[in-house]
Amino acid sequence: MAVTAMSNDRVRRSVLELDGARLTIHDAIDVSRRGRRVRLSERAAHAVRASWALKHRLIEQEIPIYGVTTGFGDSAHRQISSAKADKLQQNILRFMGVGTGPLAPPEVVRVTMLLRANCLAKGNSGVRVELVEHLLDLLNSDALPRIPERGSCGASGDLAPLSYVGRALAGDGLVDFAGATRPAADVLAKLGLEPFVLEAKEGLALTNGTSFMSAFACLAAGAAHELADVADLLTAMASEALLGNRGHFNAFLFDDAKPHPGMVASAHNIRELLAESGLALDSDERFSGGLDGAQFVELDRHVQDKYSIRCAPHVTGVLRDVLSWVEDWIAVEINSSDDNPLFNVGGGRVESGGNFYGGHMGQAMDSLKVALANLCDLLDRQLELLVDEKFNYGLTPNLIPRFAASDPEAGLHHGFKGMQLCCSAMTAEAIKLCNPATVHSRSTEAHNQDKVSMGTIAARDARSIVELAQNIAAIHLIACCQALELRGADHA
C-alpha cells in the first residue's frame, strides 16, 4: 500500500500540459482518480489565439459562419448580425440543458472536462485562451458540474451532457464541490473566479464534441485491461482448484502454433502463474506408464480440461487484441478537434464538417462490449465448474465446508450456490447489453441530424459491462480462494 500511496502522491505533484496532441488514456485515468493537475501549454495557447483571431476577421467580413452568425442545426439558414453572436452562445447552453437519468460519476466528469480542454487546446475552435484556462481552473479545483448521463445521440457530439460543463463555467446550474452540491455561481465566487461570459462560437465549441462518450471510453478501456489480467489470474487459480492440465498453456501452442498477440500474452501470464503448481500438472506429470498389457483402462481424469479452462487465453486474448485497436482509436479521438465548424488558420478560412460524429467511439465501444461480455461468460462457466460436485474433482458441493455426517450442521449449508446464480444473472445482463448501439441511429432534429452515432450509449453500456465483469470477477476470486483452501493448496 505504501508504494501505491507514493505513486499517487507523485502523480498529484506532477502537472499535465495540454497541447491537443499528446494526451493518453493513462493521463485521463490519472486525472480522473488521482487529482493530477492540468495546465495549457504555451504552444497550445499560441494556436488558440491564432484561431480566435481568424474567427474575428471572418466575422467582420459578415459571411455566414455556422453556429457563430447563424442558428444551430436545421436553423443554419437563419443568419444573425455579429451583435447577436455572443447571446446566441448563451442560449445553446440553456436549450441543450435537457439531460436526464443518473448523474455521471465524478471520474467521468473529470475526464470529460479534461478532454474538452484538450480539444480546444488544439487551436481550431476559435475560442479564447481564457475559456480553456477557466475550464482547467474548475477541473483543478475539483469543482464538477452535475451531468445527467442520458440525452446524447452522439452527433452533433454530446450536446446535452457538455452543455452542463458550459453552464458551470458561466455560473449557472449545480456543481459538486468539497463534498457538497452547490450553485455554480457560489462555487465560482469561493474559488475567486468570475462567471465566464461566452462570446461568439464559444458555447458551441464547448458542447459540440465527443468528450463525454470519450471519457466513458477511456475509463472502460483502462478497466478492461485490468480485467484481462485478473481473468488470467482467476483462470490459473481455477485450473489449480480443478487439478487442471497446465500443459494447455504451453508456449508452443501460442508462441509458435497460433500467435495472436493477446492470446500469447494471456497464455504467458497463466503459464507463469502455474509454473510451480503442485496441483495443476503438465500432461507428462499427470499420466505416466501405459496400458500395462491391458486393452482398455479407465483414466481417473480427462486428458483435456473443459473449454472454459483450456480455451481461456482464446477469450481473454481476444479482449486484449480488441483493446489494442480500441486504444488506438481513443488516442486519435481525444487528441482531435471534434468540433464544428473549425477555423483553418493556415488556410485562412472556416471549415464546416462532421468531426463531432462519434462513429469511431461508438464502434470501438460496441466491440469492446462483446469482448467483455465473453469474459463474463468465461468466468461464470469457470465458477460453475468449481461449485458443481459433478465437475470439481472431489471438492465439496457448492464449496461448502466439509462436515462429518454426524455434525449438526451437515446438510444445512449451500455455500456458493447463490453466488453462482448471481454471476449467471449478471452475465446474462452483460450479454444483453451487447446489443450494438451504433445500429440504432435515429433521424432527428428536423432530419438535419438524419444519421447519428449513438456512441455515447455504446460507451455507457461498455461502462456497465465493465462493472458487471468486476463484480463477477470478485465472486469468482472468493470462490477460488475457498476451493483452494478446501483442496489444501497451501500444502501442495
Query: Given 3-state DSSP classes, what are the helix, strand and coil percentages for the chain, each rounded to the nearest 5?
Result: 55, 10, 35
Please pick, among 66, 164, 307, 357, the residue that the annotation labels catalytic. Answer: 66
Q: Is 66 a catalytic residue?
A: yes
Helix ranges (DSSP H) in 14-158:
25-34, 42-60, 85-95, 106-121, 129-140
- Segment 179-186 shows an average pLDDT of 98
Q: Which CATH number fits the domain 2-209, given the four candidates 1.10.275.10, 3.40.30.10, 1.20.1250.20, 3.40.50.720?
A: 1.10.275.10
**pLDDT grade for 34, boundaries at 50, 70 and 90:** confident
Domain locations in the chain as residue ranges: 2-209, 219-491
Cell of 143: 469543482
Q: Tell me: pLDDT of 5 over 70.
A: no
Cell of 85: 453572436
- Identify the H or E element spanning 351: strand 349-351
Least confident of 57-66, 132-141, 216-225: 57-66
Q: Which CATH number fits the domain 219-491, given the four candidates 1.20.200.10, 1.10.357.10, 3.30.465.10, 3.40.50.12170?
A: 1.20.200.10
Q: How far apart are the first and last CA of the chain?
A: 29
Can you give the pLDDT at residue 3? Answer: 33
Q: Name the pTM for this structure.
A: 0.94
Can you give the pLDDT at residue 279? Answer: 92
**pLDDT grade for 6, boundaries at 50, 70 and 90:** very low
Can you give the pLDDT at residue 292? Answer: 80
Q: Tell me: pLDDT of 4 over 50.
A: no
User: What is d(CA 117, CA 367) in angstroms, rounded to the nearest whole number?
Assistant: 27
Which residue is associated with the grid cell 484481462?
A: 228
Can you give the pLDDT at residue 95? Answer: 87
Which residue is associated with the grid cell 508452443?
A: 252
Question: Do 52 and 127 contact (CB within 8 A), yes or no?
Answer: yes
pLDDT per residue over 333-364, tens digit each? 999 999 999 999 999 999 999 999 999 999 99
Cell of 405: 455426517
